[in-house]
A and B are shown apart, each in its own frame.
Chain A
């Protein structure tokens, strides 16, 4: 098994095909995406704690530092650059209007978790929003404005009505 340290993979990233790319099997998806130029995926802790590197794999948020690029072979990836549905456009507007970022490092991960919140199509209390984003660190500690933005998004999208 010793000479299998490289593998050739293909996947769809933000609706575009990326075929036959040779990667080191040890490379995680976050590094793989950044090497391809998707620098909106931010790597913070690389041990699953901070949530900055969250991306969507087949429509579900995952930590891209806790998934190998080879595991994403044949899957559909969405990075923050491709988060362009009409609902996510509203979410992004709400993040801007509520000033839900200071340095912006956590924002792409926060948006991926907000995607999960919107997708679940139900109402959330502020406490529940805080629970949902508890897996995303904002080291500027701007959580108040981020919770405002998520709440505002859910109201504007009319989620769970």
Chain B
């Protein structure tokens, strides 16, 4: 399939990109294009103009300080996987990204693109919600910060306004002994998950004090599971109870790969793996 016709604009800097974006509601930001170009090729979207932000160098920076890791929107997945500081401070990101598509896609696909696109089956939005990353947006009125938990509004819906561009994502790295978990079930390595889980556990003297779970590939956005977390603080892992509790937490949505019951089953299995690995 071939794309419909559209114009192309190479933004010189961020202000330039925002200017073009705010004058045209049908303009779409082109980051790595690894989700956008398939939708264009399949004619599922019909933008007036693609605003290419690929030449804005400030968006390609990775900044690290004592308590945060700040990922520029245009950092590619490969760039992040090869960054020594990221691998030291937040090693789980490498593990997550190695499951995001394939090398040729990771070379082009960007961090900001994945967060902004908000695919409910994607790994990075779920991870951002787990650690409640700060999502930094720039628009005609300047900069604002939205927490990841407030960012995802629905299926591919986010808090980004039409005159805004996601410029970076800020992750906390000083986690006070919080242990992180990531796993997913896929038909083929690198495919979107049938169900996936990012989770965290904070322990005191080997007693679980805090548990967080965020699922992906399960609903219309990254799905938190507060009732299941509460259950796990008071009870040992038990497959049937967890599956039932998860069904109270999440409105599992079936897709081409699996029924909603299958997704609940896989999610319960993933919780079991997490409790085994982190306890």
Cβ–Cβ contact A1 & B189, under 8 A: no
A42 within 8 A of partner (CB): no
Q: Is B174 interfacial (CB-CB < 8 Å)?
A: no
Are A62 and B41 interface neighbours, CB within 8 A?
no
User: Of A11-19, A85-93, A127-135, A147-155, which binds chain B?
Assistant: A127-135
- Complex: how many Å from CA A130 to CA B34? 22
CA distance A49 to B39 in the complex (A): 13
- Encoded as 1 (CB less than 8 Å from any B CB) or 0, chain A from 20 to 52 comes to 000011101001000000000000001110010
Contact with B along A51-80 (1 / 0, CB 8 A): 100100100111101111011000000000
- Whether A66 touches B107, Cβ cut-off 8 Å, given contacts A1-B24, A4-B49, is no
The complex places the Cα of A132 from the Cα of B107 at a distance, in Å, of 13
Assess whether B190 is in contact with A134, with CB atoms less than 8 Å apart. Answer: yes
B1 near A1 (CB under 8 angstroms)?
no
The reply to whether B8 and A67 form a contact with Cβ atoms under 8 Å apart is no
Q: Is A7 an interface residue (CB 8 A)?
A: yes
Q: What 1/0 mask marks residues of chain B from 41 to 77 whose CB sits below 8 Å from any chain A CB?
A: 1100000111010100000000000000000000000
With A60-B78, A66-B108 given, is the CB distance from A135 to B3 under 8 Å? Answer: no
B5 touches A1 (CB 8 A): no
Interface pair B5/A24, CB less than 8 Å apart = yes
B34 contact set on A, CB distance < 8 A: 48, 63, 66
The answer to whether B7 and A1 touch across the interface, beta carbons within 8 angstroms, is: yes
Interface: A5 (CB within 8 A): yes
Query: A48-B37, A63-B108, A134-B188 given as contacts; is B103 within 8 A of A5 (CB)?
Result: no
Contact of A63 among B3, B78, B105 (CB under 8 A): B105
Contact between A131 and B104, CB atoms less than 8 A apart: no
Q: Are B7 and A47 neighbours in the complex by a CB distance under 8 Å?
A: no
A134 touches B1 (CB 8 A): no
User: What's the least CB distance linking B22 to chain A, in Å?
Assistant: 13
Contact of B7 among A25, A60, A63, A136 (CB under 8 A): A25
**By DSSP majority rule, is chain A's interface helix, strand, loop, or mixed?**
mixed
Contact B3 A28 (CB under 8 A): yes
User: Which residues in A have their C-beta under 8 angstroms from that of B49?
Assistant: 1, 4
CB distance from A81 to the nearest CB of B (A): 18
The answer to whether B1 and A47 have CB atoms under 8 Å apart is yes
Task: Report chain B residues within 8 Å CB of A112.
Answer: 104
> B6 contacts which of A26, A60, A113, A134 (Cβ < 8 Å)?
A26
- Judged by a CB distance under 8 angstroms, whether B262 is at the interface is no
Which positions 158-208 of chain B face chain A at CB distance < 8 Å?
188-190
- Asked if B101 CB lies within 8 Å of chain A CBs, one says yes
- How far does the alpha carbon of A35 sit from the alpha carbon of B196 in the complex, in Å? 41
Expressed in whole angstroms, the Cα–Cα distance for A4 and B103 within the complex equals 32
Listed by A's residue number, 23 A-B pairs whose Cβ atoms lie within 8 Å are: A4-B8, A7-B8, A25-B7, A26-B5, A28-B37, A31-B2, A51-B102, A51-B104, A54-B104, A60-B78, A63-B34, A65-B41, A66-B34, A68-B8, A68-B33, A68-B50, A70-B10, A71-B54, A113-B104, A116-B103, A134-B102, A134-B189, A135-B101
Chain B residues close to A by CB (< 8 Å): 1-10, 20, 24, 27, 30, 33-34, 37-38, 40-42, 48-50, 52, 54, 78, 101-105, 107-108, 188-190
Interface residues, chain A, with chain B CB atoms under 8 Å away: 1-5, 7, 24-26, 28, 31, 46-48, 51, 54, 57, 60-63, 65-68, 70-71, 112-113, 116, 130-132, 134-136
